[in-house]
Structure formats: structure tokens, C-alpha cells
């Protein structure tokens, strides 16, 4: 241990106090000491000096060590308290250990003093580290449980919103604008889209959204967003970017990383109503074993750091403990949903990274995001071809969906666009149709998660019965059936619920027109 300790010595003999300090220095202990010889001076030093350890004589003229120990334990159970006395006997020594003393040392055996002090402080530090890790683990478990709950809620809501928004769109397409019901349906659709946005944020927090990870240069993303961020935070906030040269690459969804930066910038802006400074930094960092031991879920290795700091109002520990929970907000009612930082948390976690916040009231906040560094080169985007205008066709589609309202809606949409639709309410029915249907089945549209059989299992078995059948997944959330660690397998077509009628028709046409693999 090479740090300096604060040691409070309760001793009425100045000679003995100096002797104790000599023994500590001889034993290699780095320390600064304060002495007290009465109750009043002891209480004062306890408050002002805030010692790391206390050495106390057992008996003093107007005060005694047991009373001092009781005072200390009332304030803190953590501070090591060692009796150093020439008058304490073995029976009394055992008694003081029972009431909370850390150790006892006889004055004629001071060779034990330095080792006892170092051991006592080390044990307190180890205990403190264990408590810190236990708290991190409890927080991680709590976030995981909340994530599972919100993911399930978002999935159910997305099924409902698919039906609400879908039928609103179909009705709007058939009603003339002058019809009084047209405006009512428009309001229903607007509210449905807002609700869909909320469920999208819940899916981000619960790490159940589809990501399209690519090798990225975070510096390029920050530079590209800089002009937009300056408009977003306003003229009274200074934006500074400190981007490391030769920054490592990460593998993540560029759109999601942009959302992370934007949400953190908005959070920083709201913390600086009187203006201030927003700083975005990047760096290459190596997180070693020691860091990983002190931070739950961190694996040692090379990372790319993205840090967003502000000079705003800061946060206390209580606020920080709830910061990433969905719907938690310190803003006034109506001024925020409380989903911004929970979305950030989910995106970072789903991207294989970690996020930590450092803040004190009145001293701003820093959010540090660590994403694993990769050796691959940045992917060059290929120019996209024009989207085909045709949205209909005459092919046969097998539709497997366990939610009846969603299945009915999807069937109507597909039949409106000229397709022949074969319906199944679960995987077993879909396989029976694959066996019995005499004509070709060009495409299977299936929900990801269904009772009895997952969409992925259904797809694998259907491919054996119908080689060459094309596939489109639908889901209100993404299950492990097609997603491993939040990453969709390359080449798999997926449409997120809630979807619009046009989106379903366009996606179906896109999958049907895509060239067959191999």
C-alpha cells in the first residue's frame, strides 16, 4: 500500500503518541496523524479529520477507549479501531473485540503495530470493494429484470399497435378527405405512431431491437453530427470535440450510435439551462484485469471510449442509481418521457459495450461509453438502387402468426395487393400446409416467437419441405431464435412491428424480388 492514511491517536501521553508514530514509520506505513487526549478533542478530530484508522489507549484520565469506540461505531462501522495499551488484560481484550474493536496491541509489543494497521486498512478497502461490486451486481440484475419486463410489454403493445395503426391506414386510404371520420382517423394514426415510438425506445432499453452492426469510425460520426448538435444545444452552450487521432474501430449500428450521442447531448443541454460547455471526447483505452474486477460485466481488453461531459447541475448518488431506468426523470411533468437515457443504456449494452456516469451535484456530469475495439476496416457504403415502385404481385404466401388480429390484418393487406395467402396460427399448422398444399409457396411470412415452435425452427423445417422458399420474419421484439446478442444474422429479412400496410407490401415485394442465395 503506497497511499497515505489519516490516523487519529487517542492518547494522553505525548511520549507514547510519538512512540506509536515512530513504530509506524519504521514499519513502512505512510500516514498523517492527529492526536486527541480528551472526549471533546476526540469528537472534534473525528468530525474534521475524518480518519482512516484510530489508535486508542484503553484508559485515559477523563475518558476511556470503550467510550471512544462506542462513539465511532455510532458514526461508522467501517473505521478500524485498534487498542494500544499497557494495562489491558487478555479477558478484557477479548471483550473489546466482541464490542467492535478491530485489534489490540500491548505497548511492550509494538512490533505488531505496523502490520496490524496495514492489515486493518487493507481489510476495510477489500470490504468496501466487495460492497461496491455487490451494489453494481444488484443494479445490473435490477436493470436486467426491468429490461425483460419492458421488452415483454413492448412486444404486446406492438401487436396491438400493428392492428390499430394498420386498420387506421387502410380506412384512411378508402375514405375521402372530406369525410368527417377522416380527421378522426388521422388523429388515431398520429397517436399510434407516437405510441410506436415509445415502444421502440422500450425495446432499445431491453436490448430487443434489431441492429445492423457495421465497422465504424466514431470520430467520423461525431464530425458528421457536429453541425446538427450545435443547433440542438443552442448558442449559449459551447461545444468542444476532442477526438483522438488513429482512433480504433468499433462494430455497431451507426444510426443507434447517433441516437446515443444525440440523447446524451439533449440530456446535457437540459442540465445547463443557464449555458455551459458540452465536451465530446474519443480515445483508445485498455481496460485491464484490475478495472474489470471493480466493474461488473466488463471484460479486459481494448476498447474505444466515447465520453460526453457537461458543466451543468450534476446529480447526487440517489439520482444516479435510477438514471437508466425507463420513465425515471427529474424533469417537470410533460417535459420528458424518461426514456432518453434508458434508450442509451440499452443500445450500448446491446452493442457489447458498457456505460458509466460520473457526477456530483453542482459539478456537471460525464458519461463514459466503452465499446469493444475491432481490427476490421470501416465498411464503404454501396450506393442504393432505386426502390421498386411495384408493391403487389400474384405469388402464394404462407402467413404464420399466432396473434389473430395481426394475422387478419396482414392477410387483408397481402390479398389487397394480389397475393394468395395461406394462413396458419402456429408453426405446426404452417408445416401441415407446406406438406398438403399442391401448388408452389413462394414466401413464408412468420412471427418470430410463437407457442409450440419458434419462427426460426419453423423456417428450418419448412426449408426441408419446400427447398427455396423465401422468408420474412415479423415481430414486436427480437428473440434468440434469429438474434444472437442483439445482432441479426446477415441476409435474414425482418420487419419490425408495428408496421404500416405499405411497409408490409413493400417488404414482401422486396424479399420476393431478391435473388436466391447460392
Q: Are 410 and 399 in contact (CB under 8 A)?
A: yes
Output the pLDDT for position 345: 82
**pLDDT, the chain, mean:** 81
Q: Which of 305, 301, 341 is nearest to 321 (CA)?
A: 341
How many residues can be counted in the chain? 518
Nearest-angstrom CA–CA distance, 173 and 350: 38
Lowest mean pLDDT among 165-179, 373-387, 445-459: 373-387
The confidence score (pLDDT) of residue 469 equals 93
72 φ/ψ angles, rounded to the nearest 5 degrees? -65, -45
Coil vs helix vs strand at 122: helix
Question: pLDDT tens, 464-512?
Answer: 999 989 999 887 654 443 444 343 565 678 887 778 888 899 999 999 9
**Residues linked to residue 357 through DSSP beta bridges, in sequence order:** 367
Whether the predicted pLDDT of 383 surpasses 50? no
Distance CA 6, CA 46 (A): 11
Q: In Å, how far are 142, 174, 215, 258 from 370, measured between CA atoms? A: 21, 50, 15, 15
Torsion of CA 89, 95, 101, 104, to 10 degrees: 20
Rounded to whole angstroms, how far apart are CA atoms 12 and 368? 50
- pLDDT tens for residues 81-104? 998 887 666 677 777 777 788 888
Architecture of the domain spanning 214-374: 2-Layer Sandwich (3.30)
- CATH fold of 396-513 reads Rossmann fold (3.40.50)
Q: How far is CA 158 from CA 59, 155, 411, 478, in A?
A: 72, 5, 18, 12
Q: What is the pLDDT of residue 419?
A: 95
C-alpha cell at 343: 434508450
| pLDDT tens digits along 280-319 | 999 999 988 877 776 667 888 999 999 999 999 888 888 8
| CATH number for the domain formed by residue range(s) 5-126 | 3.40.50.2300
In whole angstroms, what is the distance from residue 392 CA to residue 396 CA?
Answer: 12
Of the spans 179-188, 236-245, 355-364, 390-399, which averages the highest pLDDT?
Answer: 236-245
d(CA 20, CA 37): 15
> In the predicted model, is pLDDT for residue 425 greater than 70?
yes
Could you tell me which residue, 43 or 134, shows the higher pLDDT?
Answer: 43
pTM of the complete model beyond 0.75? no
d(CA 366, CA 7): 33
Three-state DSSP at 355 gives strand
Concatenated DSSP letters of 125-185: HHHHHHHHHHHHHHHHHHHHHHHHHHHHHHHHHHHHHHHHHHHHHHHHHHS-TTSHHHHHH
Whether residue 498 is preceded by a cis peptide bond, meaning omega within 30 degrees of 0, is yes
Contacts of 222-229 spanning 24+ positions with Cβ under 8 A: 222/261, 222/280, 222/282, 225/258, 225/261, 225/262, 228/262, 229/261, 229/262, 229/265, 229/278, 229/280
Q: Give the three-class secondary structure for 26.
A: helix
Amino acid at each position: 500500500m503506497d497511499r497515505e492514511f489519516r490516523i487519529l491517536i487517542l492518547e494522553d501521553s505525548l511520549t507514547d503518541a510519538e512512540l506509536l508514530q515512530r513504530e509506524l514509520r519504521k514499519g513502512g506505513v505512510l500516514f498523517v496523524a492527529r492526536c486527541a487526549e480528551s472526549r471533546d478533542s476526540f469528537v472534534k478530530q473525528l468530525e474534521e479529520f475524518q480518519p482512516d484508522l484510530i489508535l486508542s489507549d484503553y484508559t485515559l484520565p477523563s475518558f476511556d477507549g470503550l467510550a471512544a469506540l462506542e462513539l465511532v461505531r455510532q458514526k461508522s462501522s467501517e473505521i478500524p479501531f485498534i487498542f494500544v495499551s499497557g494495562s489491558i488484560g487478555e479477558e478484557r481484550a477479548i471483550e473489546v473485540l466482541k464490542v467492535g474493536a478491530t485489534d489490540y496491541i500491548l505497548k511492550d509489543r509494538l512490533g505488531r503495530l505496523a502490520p496490524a494497521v496495514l492489515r486493518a486498512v487493507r481489510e476495510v478497502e477489500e470490504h468496501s470493494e466487495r460492497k461496491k461490486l455487490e451494489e453494481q451486481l444488484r443494479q445490473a440484475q435490477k436493470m436486467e429484470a426491468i429490461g425483460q419486463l419492458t421488452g415483454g410489454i413492448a412486444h404486446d403493445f406492438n401487436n396491438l399497435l400493428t392492428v390499430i395503426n394498420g386498420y387506421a391506414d387502410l380506412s384512411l386510404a378508402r375514405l375521402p378527405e372530406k369525410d368527417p371520420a377522416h380527421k378522426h382517423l388521422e388523429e388515431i394514426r398520429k397517436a399510434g405512431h407516437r405510441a410506436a415510438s415509445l415502444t421502440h425506445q422500450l425495446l432499445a432499453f431491453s436490448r430487443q431491437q434489431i441492429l445492423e452492426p457495421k465497422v465504424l469510425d466514431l470520430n467520423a460520426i461525431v464530425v458528421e453530427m457536429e453541425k446538427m448538435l450545435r443547433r440542438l444545444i443552442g448558442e449559449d452552450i459551447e461545444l468542444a470535440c476532442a477526438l483522438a487521432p488513429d482512433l480504433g474501430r468499433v462494430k455497431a449500428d451507426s444510426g443507434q450510435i447517433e441516437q446515443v450521442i444525440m440523447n446524451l447531448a439533449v440530456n446535457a443541454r437540459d442540465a445547463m439551462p443557464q449555458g455551459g460547455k458540452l465536451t465530446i471526447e474519443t480515445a483508445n483505452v485498455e481496460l485491464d484485469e484490475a478495472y474489470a474486477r471493480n466493474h461488473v460485466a466488463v471484460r479486459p481488453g481494448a476498447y474505444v471510449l466515447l465520453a460526453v461531459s457537461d458543466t451543468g447541475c450534476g446529480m447526487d448518488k440517489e439520482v444516479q442509481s435510477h438514471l437508466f431506468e425507463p420513465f425515471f426523470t427529474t424533469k417537470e411533468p410533460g417535459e420528458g418521457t424518461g426514456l432518453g437515457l434508458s434508450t442509451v443504456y440499452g443500445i450500448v449494452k446491446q452493442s457489447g459495450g458498457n456505460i458509466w456516469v460520473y457526477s456530483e451535484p453542482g459539478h456537471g456530469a460525464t458519461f463514459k461509453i466503452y465499446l469493444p475495439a475491432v481490427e476490421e476496416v470501416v465498411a464503404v457504403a454501396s450506393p442504393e438502387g432505386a426502390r421498386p415502385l411495384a408493391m403487389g404481385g400474384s405469388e402464394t404466401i404462407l402467413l404464420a402468426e399466432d396473434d389473430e388480429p395481426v394475422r387478419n390484418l396482414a392477410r387483408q393487406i397481402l390479398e389487397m395487393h394480389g397475393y394468395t395467402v395461406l394462413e396458419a396460427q402456429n408453426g405446426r399448422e404452417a408445416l401441415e400446409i407446406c406438406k398438403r398444399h399442391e401448388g408452389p409457396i413462394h414466401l413464408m411470412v412468420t412471427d418470430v416467437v410463437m407457442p409450440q415452435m419458434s419462427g426460426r425452427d419453423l423456417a428450418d423445417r419448412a426449408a426441408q419441405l419446400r427447398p427455396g422458399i423465401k422468408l420474412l420474419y415479423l415481430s414486436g421484439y427480437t428473440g434468440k431464435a434469429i438474434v444472437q446478442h442483439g445482432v441479426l444474422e446477415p441476409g435474414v429479412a425482418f420487419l419490425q412491428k408495428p408496421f404500416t400496410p405499405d411497409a408490409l407490401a413493400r417488404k414482401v415485394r422486396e424479399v420476393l424480388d431478391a435473388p436466391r442465395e447460392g
